[in-house]
Structures are given as structure tokens and as C-alpha cells.
């Protein structure tokens, strides 16, 4: 099968790889670019574990082909930390004991990041609805909802947010 050169920006760095047209973006990120933080949970676009941001929008990287991401700006879980400091969203999730096994975590972090960067004040029901595109089997979701709320507070600069 023929392969194509794919050039894209990942976490602020230009990256290049060679892939068959049928290669999914998630396999390209994980196998070709060694970014294994993004996980594969269902390969049919339901569980959200593979969520990454493509040009700012959350995308199921199992449903997108790598060739479709040519020229795009992709952000993955690996890009959130800065100089060894957790992103406030990561910090909030940690303080909220948001996750257990951690397999769904990268997808939730990226979905929540898109939500937070979009801004807007969501009530509990709206927030749960927005997060319903990602599946977690460990937590019962409450700790994740708490984490997103805390992150919004931390980002709003509310010191001492618990």
C-alpha cells in the first residue's frame, strides 16, 4: 500500500511521518510519533479515550485518518505540562482524585480542556452533558465533574480553591 508524508504540528512542534492513507490519527500519534499518552478505547468513536484537540476542537483520533490531519495543529495530553508544572486542569483533577485506572484520563483531560478554553459557566447538568462524550468505568464520574469545576476556579484565579 502507498504511503504519504504527513506534516503537522503536535504540541507546538512540527512533526513529520510516513503513513498509509488508512492509518488512523491515533495510531499515527502513538506508533509513529511515540505519543502513547493518547489511548485507544473502542476504535469506533464512542468512548472518547482517544480525544485530542485538532485546531482547537476535540476530535476522536480513532475516527480521523492521519492524512486528514496534515497541516493541522494537534494538541495531546503530553502537551499540557509546562516546565514540569501541571496545567491547572491536571492539578485540579489530581486534587479531586478524579481518576482511578487512568485509561480514560487523557480523553477526559482533552475534552475538559476544550470545554474550559471555550469558557462559559455551566451548571451541573450542562457540565455532565458536555462530559457525556467520554466513558469512564472506574469513578462514577462525580470526581471528574468536581475536577472540572475546581479547574475552572483555579483558572479564574480564585486562590485557595479547594
Partner 1 sequence: MRFVGAKVERVEDRRILTGRGHYVDDLKLPHMLHAAFLRSPLAHAVIGAVDASAARKAPGVVAVLTGRDLAEMTAPVEITMAFGAKVPKFPLLPTDKVRFVGDPVAMVVAESRYQAEDACELIEVDYDPLPAVATYEAALDPAAPLVFDEHGDNVVFSSESSFGDPDGAFARADRVVSATLRQHRVANVPMETRGGVADYDPGSGELTYHAATQGPHGLRMQLAAVMQMPLERVRVLARDIGGAFGLKGFPSREELAVAAASRAVGAPVKWIEDRNEHLLASGQAREETVEVEVAVRSDGTLLGIKAHMLMDQGAYPPVPFPSAMYTALMQMLLPGPYRLEGYTFDVRVVCTNKCCYVAYRGPWEMETWVRERILDIVAAELGLDPAEVRRRNLVDGEPEDRLITGLSLAGVSSRQSLERALERIGYQDFRNEQAEGRKEGRCLGIGFATFIEASPGPPEMRMGGGMFGGEQAKVKLEADGHLVVVTAQSPHGQGHETTLAQVAADEMGVPFEHVRVIHGDTNITPFSLIGTGGSRASTWASGAVLVSTRKLKERILGIAAELLEISAADLEITDGVIVPKGVPGRSLPLAQVAQQVYMAPGSLPPGSERVLEVHETFTGEGITGSGWSGGTHACTVEVDLGTGQVRILRYVVAEDCGRVINPAIVEGQIRGGVAQGIGEVLYEHSAYDEEGQFLAGTFMDYLVPTAAEIPVIEIEHLETDPEGELGFRGVGEAGAVVAPATVTNAVADALAPYGARVWEQYLPPYRVLELAGVITS
Q: Does 40 bind partner 1 (CB under 8 A)?
A: yes
Whether the CB-CB separation of 9 and 72 falls below 8 Å is answered with yes
Q: Does 142 bind partner 1 (CB under 8 A)?
A: yes
Q: Does 104 bind partner 1 (CB under 8 A)?
A: yes
Grid cell, residue 89, equals 486542569
Q: Does 46 bind partner 1 (CB under 8 A)?
A: yes
Q: Which of 61, 69, 105, 154 binds partner 1 (CB under 8 A)?
A: 105
**Which distant-in-sequence residues (6+ apart) come within 8 Å of 157 by Cβ?**
none
Taking the complex as a whole, how short is the minimal distance between the CB of residue 30 and partner 1, in angstroms?
8
Whether the CB-CB separation of 59 and 52 falls below 8 Å is answered with yes
| Planar angle of CA 33, 111, 67, nearest 5 degrees | 35
In the bound state with partner 1, the residue whose beta carbon lies nearer, of 71 and 86, is 86
How many other C-beta atoms lie within 10 A of the C-beta of residue 148? 25
Positions in the binding site for partner 1 (CB under 8 A): 1, 20, 22-23, 30-31, 34-44, 46-47, 49, 76-78, 80-81, 86, 90, 93-95, 97, 99-106, 109, 127-129, 131-145
Amino acid at each position: 500500500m502507498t504511503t504519504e508524508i504527513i506534516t503537522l504540528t503536535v504540541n507546538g512542534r512540527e512533526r513529520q511521518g510516513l503513513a498509509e492513507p488508512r492509518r488512523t490519527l491515533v495510531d499515527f500519534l502513538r506508533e509513529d510519533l511515540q505519543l502513547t499518552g493518547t489511548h485507544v478505547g473502542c476504535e469506533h468513536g464512542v468512548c472518547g479515550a482517544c480525544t485530542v484537540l485538532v485546531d482547537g476542537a476535540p476530535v476522536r483520533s480513532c475516527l480521523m485518518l492521519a492524512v486528514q490531519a496534515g497541516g493541522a495543529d494537534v494538541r495531546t495530553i503530553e502537551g499540557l505540562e509546562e516546565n514540569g508544572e501541571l496545567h491547572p486542569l491536571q492539578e485540579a483533577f489530581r486534587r479531586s482524585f478524579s481518576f482511578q485506572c487512568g485509561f480514560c484520563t487523557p480523553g477526559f483531560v482533552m475534552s475538559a480542556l476544550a470545554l474550559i478554553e471555550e469558557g462559559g459557566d455551566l451548571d451541573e447538568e450542562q457540565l455532565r452533558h458536555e462530559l457525556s462524550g467520554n466513558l469512564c468505568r472506574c469513578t462514577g464520574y462525580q470526581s471528574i465533574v468536581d475536577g472540572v469545576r475546581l479547574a475552572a476556579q483555579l483558572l479564574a484565579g480564585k486562590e485557595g480553591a479547594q
